[in-house]
Structure 1
Amino acid sequence: MNQPLLPPLTVIGSINLDLIASTDRLPAAGETVGRGLLHRQAGGKGANQATAAARLGGGVRLIGSIGNDEAGRQLLGTLAASGVNVADILLSSQPTGTALIVVDRFGENQIVVCPGANSQLSLEGISFADDESVLCQLENGVDVVLEASRQHRGYFALNAAPAESLPDELVTRCDLVIVNETEFALLPELSNARLVAVTYGERGSAIYEYGTLVARAAALPTRVVNTVGAGDAFCSALVLALRTGHDYHRALAAANAVGSDAVRDASSQPRLSSLEHYLETTRTTPGNRR
């Protein structure tokens, strides 16, 4: 297990059981595709990001909600074994959330999420330290994220996925918003946000400050097996790198390297090296700063 070497991070988000069908290609509307292979594994954007942060070397707690069922107990054990602090995970009367995922031979995917216990997440009784960073996503809904942004006065990052309209109050409050290029196009309210990191797949990533491009980093060539957890690993790496004091370009390059490792792993919660490893290996990585 990694020792906490990085600034404290609290992730607020979903915890799911992922049911993954691996197929040669994704089905079209109304089509049945046969010869799939079924896998069950831990998932949920919150759990994915917390696990990635712990494996990168961070001291991480996860605030989420699971069902009082076999899946919930298994996921709780998996999180704890990965080094995530699970003391603030709530037990719900609803079943544990489930994601139904189809992945093709190129690693592209289609996902349907059944939130279950995730829809019951509450921050009542939760406290935050001023020196910790908070990372949220939108699988638990904007209301939970908005509540978190009001309760926590320190560094606040949002992975705005799945994309849905964001209130001005939340956009203004965020120190960092992370999206992929599709989400960025769907969220015009981010066009002048304080700091927005955008991922472009094989074309790398970029950071915009109040709408102005301030850093870019190239993607690393890699063999894609599964893209489900790559974005989540990128988010955790970027937040931790920025909060450790690295500049935008260095942080982006390291986060890209983490994402590159993640897509080579079939798991939604891939094995990762320490963040320091990725910072060192990308020290001289070429890429445009502006």
Structure 2
Amino acid sequence: MPDHAQVCVVGSANLDLVAGVARRPGPGETLLGHSYAEHPGGKGLNQAVAAARQGASTTFVGAVGADAAGERLTAVLTEAGCDVDAVLVVDTPTGRALIVVDDAGENSIVVIPGANDYCPTAHTPQGVLLVQLEVPMDVVAASVRAAKNAGCTVVLNPAPARDVPTEVLAAVDVIVPNEHEVELLGGVARLLDAGVGVVVVTRGADGAEVHRRDAAPIQIAAPAVTVVDTTGAGDTLSGTVAAALASGYDIDDAVRRGVIAGSLATTIAGAVPSIPTAAAVDALTP
């Protein structure tokens, strides 16, 4: 990837607490799990690691607690090659995600933001700005404004889905919701009408769709893989798309790389451990 490929990720960093179960429990039900693990995670951290593993020069802007979990997450980012100078250390516990993964590889997740509520704004982003919604909306909005003023491409992964101010949507070049999030945001047409440049709807094993104004959607197929754990697959896709855009790929090819990377991420347990390198994506790229 070219040396000028720059990605700034503003987002969350969490410690993932992962329980493995045969099936996920229903309301009021208690089940015995068969495994437990702790992994670095958080949508922001996952996406930053994904961009870095694709070869982009990646800066992570976020917040962690002054605790062992915060030190661990910062070390993971550093080891992945991310610039962590903008990571704020606060007197609030590092964020956690409680994740239940069933034997089919599907998951349910509860996020406790903790230190992520103090995530700083990216004041001087370069290249591509990638943001999600696990940090305060005012931070997202301010970072997007700074990015547009700096001439950056803005990519928004609207997860977890919640209302996004119209002025933020109007500044987004590429939005990457999954099939559930896009409906909660009012649908593809509403997002395009709000000023979003391109809507990329991810559909898991069915790949992704690329929607533009006044053009038929482009379907991007996913490679066939054996699914072990879907945790982090969407984040891997988003981070890879951002890195590809930063390196000059057009949106269709960027999404193609993202779909391949996201598919590969489902073949290994955990979020960060499963994120593939650029070479692994290249090997499956037509």
TM-score by length of 1: 0.90
Indicate whether 1:228 and 2:231 are aligned. yes
Is 1:4–1:59's contact at 8 Å kept on the other side of the alignment? no
After TM superposition, the structure 1 = structure 2 runs for residues 68-147 of structure 1, keeping only pairs within 5 Å, are 68-123=66-121, 126-129=122-125, 131-147=126-142
Identical columns (%): 37
1:32 to 23, 30, 33: 30
- The question of whether the paired residues in 2 share the 8 Å contact of 1:216 and 1:252 is answered with no
Q: Deviations over 1:200-225 (max 9, x none)?
A: 11211011113744422111111111
Match status 1:199 vs 2:202: yes
Give the whole-Å Cα distance in 1 for the aligned partners of 2:103 and 2:60: 32
Q: 2: CA distance between counterparts of 1:88 and 1:183?
A: 29
TM-align CA RMSD: 1.8
Aligned residue identity for 1:252: V
SS in 1 for 2:273: coil
1:41 corresponds to? 39
Preserved contact between residue 6 and residue 240 of structure 1 (Cα < 8 Å): no
Long gaps (5+) in structure 1: 284-290
Distance 1:222 1:277, change over 3 A: closer
Q: In structure 1, how many angstroms separate the alpha carbons of the residues matched to 2:118 and 2:34? A: 33
Partners of 1:42 and 1:88 in 2: how far apart?
18
Where in structure 2 are the equivalents of 1:1-290 lying within 5 Å?
Answer: 5=3, 7-123=5-121, 126-129=122-125, 131-153=126-148, 154-188=152-186, 189-192=190-193, 193-210=196-213, 212-275=215-278, 277-279=280-282, 281-283=284-286
CA contact (8 A) 2:192 2:212 kept: no
Shift of 1:227: 0.9
Letter in 2 for 1:281: L
Aligned residues: 278
SS in structure 1 at match of 2:229: coil
Q: CA deviation at 1:276?
A: 5.7
- In the alignment, the residues of structure 2 paired with residue 62 and residue 134 of structure 1 have an alpha-carbon distance, to the nearest angstrom, of 10
Structure 1 position 99, deviation (Å): 0.6
1:232 offset after TM fit, Å?
0.4
TM-score (norm 2): 0.91
CA deviation string 1:59-103 (max 9, x = no partner):
111000000011111111111111111111001111000111100
Residue 13 of structure 1 deviates from its aligned partner by: 0.2
The more displaced of 271-280 and 197-206 is 271-280
Matched letter for residue 174 of structure 1: V
Shift of the 22–89 alpha-carbon distance from structure 1 to 2, 3 Å rule, reads: same
